[in-house]
Amino acid sequence: MTLGRLHGYAEVAVDRRPVADPVMTAAPRIGCDEIRVPLTEGEAVVEKRVVSRGDLVVRKHQVQEDEVIEADLRRERIDVDRNGGMPRTGR
């Protein structure tokens, strides 16, 4: 003897849709033919702030140093005739 049996099953289709407002989170909705489940994810928010790490102090002060300089010097001698004549130059 052979008996036929009729059986049925339900197929599930899953669609992923983009969200209109990513900040707003909706609650899950259960309807007659569908269930809507909002997808959420954690998002790292990186922020840059200026914070003080210390001070940099710049000062100036006068410095005096003794320095030895070597140079060849020449000597010149000038004789002046105070009686109105031409001056003479000699070395």
pLDDT tens-digit series, residues 49-76: 988 888 888 888 888 888 888 888 778 8
| 76-91 mean pLDDT | 68
- Asked whether the beta carbons of 21 and 6 are under 8 A apart, the reply is no
Is 77 in a helix, a strand, or coil?
strand
Q: Which residue(s) pair with 41 in the sheet? A: none
- Asked whether the beta carbons of 26 and 38 are under 8 A apart, the reply is yes
Q: Mind listing the pLDDT tens digit for each residue in 17-31?
A: 887 776 666 778 888
Quote the tokens at residue 82: 């105070």
- Asked whether the beta carbons of 37 and 28 are under 8 A apart, the reply is yes
Write down the pLDDT at residue 48. 92
Write down the pLDDT at residue 36. 85
Q: Which residue(s) pair with 79 in the sheet? A: 88
